[in-house]
Structure 1
Amino acid sequence: MNKRTSLIRMSVAIFGMLALQASSLARAEDKVTLLSNWYAQAEHGGFYQAVAKGIYKKYGMDVSIKMGGPQVNNMQILVAGQADFSMGYDFTVMKGVEQGLPLVTVGTSFQSDLQGMMTHDDVGSLGGLKNKTILVAGSGQSSWWPWLKSKFAYTDAQTKAYTFNLQPFFADPNIAQQAYPSSELFQADKAGVKSKFFLFANDGYPPYGTTIITLQKTVAQKPELVQRFVQATAEGWKSYLEDPAPGNALIKQDNKNMSDEQLAYALNKLKELKVVTGGDAAKYGIGTMTDERWKKTYDTMVATGLLKADTDYRKAYTTRFVKDMHVMP
C-alpha cells in the first residue's frame, strides 16, 4: 500500500513538472534579475549552471545574474524593485521582517550555512577555544558569534576584529578565526599552513545557506514564476554537482579573479560537507526547507538577543514552492 501511494505521489509530481515546463514553453520568456550575495564563486554554481545549461530557459525565463559584493545592500536593492530574486541569509530576512520589510525566502541552495571556524592543529573541537583569540568580522558579531559565545561560554574579551587578512592566523598559533571552507581554507592550504575547520552547523547552528529571497508581493502576484525559478535553480544545482564546467565558465566571466583551482577546491568542499545534497535534501530533494528548521533559527535569534520575540518569523519564509519539487540528489 505504501509503495502504491509513493508511486501515485511520484506520478503526480512528474505530471506537475511536465505541465509547468509545457506552460513555460508556451509563453514569451520572463526576464528575471537575480542578485548574488558576493563575487561569483562555486557557492553560486547552481544558479550559473542553470543559465549556462539553458535550464532557466527551459522554464520560460531569461535570467541575468547581477554580481553582489561587500558594498552591495541586497535587501535594499530587492525592496527597491531592482532585482526579482536575491541570494540571501535567514538571519537577514528575519531581521528584515522584524523591521517591516516585505521579504520572504522561497527556497535554499544549502542545507546549512557554510560559516565555520578555522583553527590550528592543536584544537580538537569547536568547544576547545577557551584560551584562544578568536577573529570575528563585523557581520559575525550580528549572526553566529552570539550563538557560539552562548553555546560554549566564550567571552567578547577573546575576540579581535577579522579584517579578511590571514597573516595574523599564519603568524600566531593561538589564533582561531571565522572561515568559509572554500576561501580561507584554500588560502591556508596554498600558503602551506596546516589547519582544521569546524562547520558551525555540525554543532547545531541552524540557518540555511545561500537562500532564494524575493518580495512578498512577488509570491502573491507571480507564484508560478517563483515556482519555475525555484525548480530550475534546484535542477541547476544537481547539474552543477555532476558537471560544473558550463557554470564555472560563466563564473569566471563575471569574476576574473576566480581560478579553476579554487573552483575545483570549493566544489570538493561542497560535496564533502554535503551541504546541497545532505540533511533534509537527501530525503525530500535539493532546495527543500522545513518549518522545524526555521523555528530553530527563530529560537536561536531570540535567545541570543538578535530578534524580538514577538516577530512573526513565519513571514520570513514559505515552503509552498519546495515541498513538491523532489529534485533528488
Structure 2
Amino acid sequence: MSSKYLKLSTAAAAVAISSAASAQELTEVTFGTHWVAQAEHGGYYQAVVDGTYEACGLDVTILPGGPQVNNSAQLIAGRIQFYMGGTLGPLSAVNEGVPMLIVAASFQKEPQILMTHPGAISSFDEISTLDQLIIGDEGFVTYFKFFEKANGWDPAKRVPYTFNPAPFIANARAAQQGYVTSEPFAVEQEGGFKPDVWVLADNGYTAYSTTIVGMRDYIEANPEVVKCFVDGSAIGWANFLYGDNAAALAKIKEDNPDMSDDKLAFSIETMKQYGIVDSGDALTMGIGAMTDARMEDFFTKMVDVGVLPADLDYKQAYTLDFANSGASLEVKAALGQ
C-alpha cells in the first residue's frame, strides 16, 4: 500500500475537504467499540459531534459494544468497517488466517493495571508476594504469561475476575486487574479507599491499546476513507482531551445512560495523568502513532512467553501508512498543549 495518501499538501487537503463538505456525498462507515460508551471512547464521539469526520467526507456511526455484543465478529463479516481492537487480537487473527489490519493506535499505553490495597506493597516487583491475583481469563492467557516469566507471578495464586470488586476490597493481600480509568474509581466509591495502582505499560508490557482495526481488503480498497477516519479520530482525541468536550460527553451519556458525570471526569483526568492517549511517540508523531520498533518489541515478548509462534509474519497485522501523519499536533498547539 502506498503512503502517498499521507503526503497531500495542505492546499490539496483543504480543497478535498471543501469539495466533500459542499457536495454532501458522505461515505457511511460504522466503528464498533469493544464496550459500552464511556470516556475511553471520547475522541471518536468528539469527531462525530463536532463534524471532524464529516469535514473529510465520512458519515460515522459508533456502534457500542458490551457483554453480549461481538463487534469483532461484525468486522470479520463485513457488517462494519472499523473496530476498536488491541494489539494481540489482530496478531492472533493473522496467525489464524484472518486478515485484520491495525491502522492506528489511539492509546499509546495499555490502560490495564493491577490494584493493591494502600501500602500493601512498595513496588511492582512485590506483586508476586501477594496471596491472591484476581485476573480474568483473557488477561491470564496474555499479560499474565509475560509477568509470570518477567516478575514471577504464580498461576496458582490466580482467581478469576468476575467484574465484582468485593473480593478485592475484602482481601488486603490481593491484587485485582482493572483499567486505570475505571476500576480504581469503583473501588474508591464502594470500598471507601483509594487503591495503589500499577500500570502494566509502565512495567514492560508494550502493547498498543484501543487500536483502529479493519479488514485488509477494505483498507487497501478505500485508503482515502481510512485516512479520513484515522486523522479525524486523532483530531477528535485532541479536542476531547484538551478542548470543549461537552457535546461528546452528552452523546456518550445518551448511548450509555448509566454513565455518571463524576465517572467521566475521573476517566478523562486519569487518561491525561498517565499519558494513555498522548505520550511517547504521539507527542511528536501525533495521536494514533505506531512504530515498527514498538510492534517488534511486543511481538518478541509474546513469542518469548509462548503466546505467539515465532514464525508468524507479524507485520501482516498492521500498516504505518496512516498512523503517523501528525494530524493532532496542530490542533493541540492551537489549544495551548
Same fold (TM > 0.5): yes
Give distance in 2, aligned partners of 1:123 and 1:14.
Answer: 52
What do residues 241-296 of structure 1 show as CA deviations (whole Å, max 9, x unaligned)?
12221111111011111011100000000010112111101111111111111111
- Asked whether the equivalents of residues 90 and 207 of structure 1 are also in contact (C-alpha less than 8 Å), the reply is yes
From 14, 21, 29, give the equivalent of 2:17: 21
What do residues 277-320 of structure 1 show as CA deviations (whole Å, max 9, x unaligned)?
11101111111111111111111211111111111110111011
> Which runs of structure 2 are paired with 1:68-217 in the superposition (5 Å)?
68-121=65-118, 122-132=120-130, 133-191=132-190, 192-217=192-217
Alignment-derived partner of residue 303 in structure 2 = 302
Deviation at 1:168, TM superposition (A): 0.8
- Asked whether the equivalents of residues 234 and 327 of structure 2 are also in contact (C-alpha less than 8 Å), the reply is no
Give distance in 2, aligned partners of 1:188 and 1:204.
Answer: 25
Give distance in 2, aligned partners of 1:17 and 1:319.
Answer: 20
> Which runs of structure 2 are paired with 1:238-249 in the superposition (5 Å)?
238-241=238-241, 242-249=243-250
Give distance in 2, aligned partners of 1:23 and 1:178.
Answer: 48
Deviation at 1:162, TM superposition (A): 0.9
Aligned partner letter, 1:113? E
User: In terms of mean alpha carbon deviation, does 225-234 or 180-189 score higher?
Assistant: 180-189
Aligned partner letter, 1:35? G
**Pair 1:53 & 2:50 matched:** yes
Alignment-derived partner of residue 227 in structure 2 = 227
Give distance in 2, aligned partners of 1:116 and 1:172.
Answer: 17
What's the TM-score once normalised by structure 1's chain length? 0.93
Aligned partner letter, 1:201? A
Aligned partner letter, 1:118? M
Aligned partner letter, 1:309? A
Give distance in 2, aligned partners of 1:302 and 1:173.
Answer: 34
How large is the RMSD of aligned CA atoms in angstroms?
Answer: 1.7
Query: Which SS does the other structure have where 2:310 is aligned?
Result: coil
- Asked whether the equivalents of residues 13 and 325 of structure 1 are also in contact (C-alpha less than 8 Å), the reply is no
Give distance in 1, aligned partners of 2:135 and 2:204.
Answer: 19
**Pair 1:277 & 2:290 matched:** no
Alignment-derived partner of residue 39 in structure 2 = 42
Aligned partner letter, 1:263? L
Aligned partner letter, 2:214? T
Deviation at 1:143, TM superposition (A): 1.9
Structure 1: which 5+ runs fail to align?
1-10
What do residues 135-191 of structure 1 show as CA deviations (whole Å, max 9, x unaligned)?
110111122111111110121011111111111111110011111122110011213
What's the TM-score once normalised by structure 2's chain length? 0.91
Percent identical pairs in the alignment equals: 37
Aligned partner letter, 1:272? Q
Query: Which SS does the other structure have where 1:157 is aligned?
Result: helix
How many residue pairs get aligned? The number is 320
Deviation at 1:13, TM superposition (A): 5.4
